[in-house]
Chain A
Amino acid sequence: QKEVEQNSGPLSVPEGAIASLNCTYSDRGSQSFFWYRQYSGKSPELIMSIYSNGDKEDGRFTAQLNKASQYVSLLIRDSQPSDSATYLCAVNINLNDKIIFGKGTRLHILP
């Protein structure tokens, strides 16, 4: 059974601090990795994708991938109240295959 695991939270972080979200996956052959943000009552929105080991930065967001440890993380710097949402980790094993989602981590930024 291919799985993506996340801590459901809630994760509470003071405004301006760094939020760190973590995810592990079971299939070692996974090729593509994504972070989606989902506000309550809305659909998921892709915020980061990463395909190779290391860090990828985009504005306040940094995705980190360690394939040997089967571990993906998302760092949000200078957290803002508008970052409060559920963050979904997702994994794609083959390029034309389905994407499997974790259950999501609820992030709450404290003003």
Chain B
Amino acid sequence: ETGVTQSPTHLIKTRGQQVTLRCSSQSGHNTVSWYQQALGQGPQFIFQYYREEENGRGNFPPRFSGLQFPNYSSELNVNALELDDSALYLCASSLATQGSGYTFGSGTRLTVV
């Protein structure tokens, strides 16, 4: 059984650029959730995907967008990067309707300069 994998692990971008982060969900999991965690804060919910459809969104602007693919892997895209977007981005997979909690990937550390 494979866990959740995220890529890349670290990324440095310039303000105004665009970035794509990738996540492969754990085998058997059909739901992917993305979180942003700023230093010293708890993870903040960005959005969740279930069977390739967005299934809930947090308080993030439209420049944060996502996709889920038929194999349940997912992408997070952020356009027009701002300095405040610097954070750890976490992907979590789960089995919908189970309510058993998330399995997190190791995260992508994004730095915007």
Contact = CB atoms under 8 A, between A and B. Distances in A.
Interface residues of A, number: 26
B105 interface: yes
B interface residue count range (under 10 / 10 to 19 / 20 to 34 / 35 or more): 20 to 34
Contact of A49 (B42, B56, B92, B100): B100
Interface string A23-52: 000000001101000000011111001010
A73 B19 CA distance: 38
B72 interface: no
A95 B99 contact: yes
Interface of A: 4, 6, 31-32, 34, 42-46, 49, 51, 88, 90, 92, 94-104
Interface of B: 31, 33, 35, 40-45, 48, 50, 55-56, 58, 88, 90, 92, 96-107
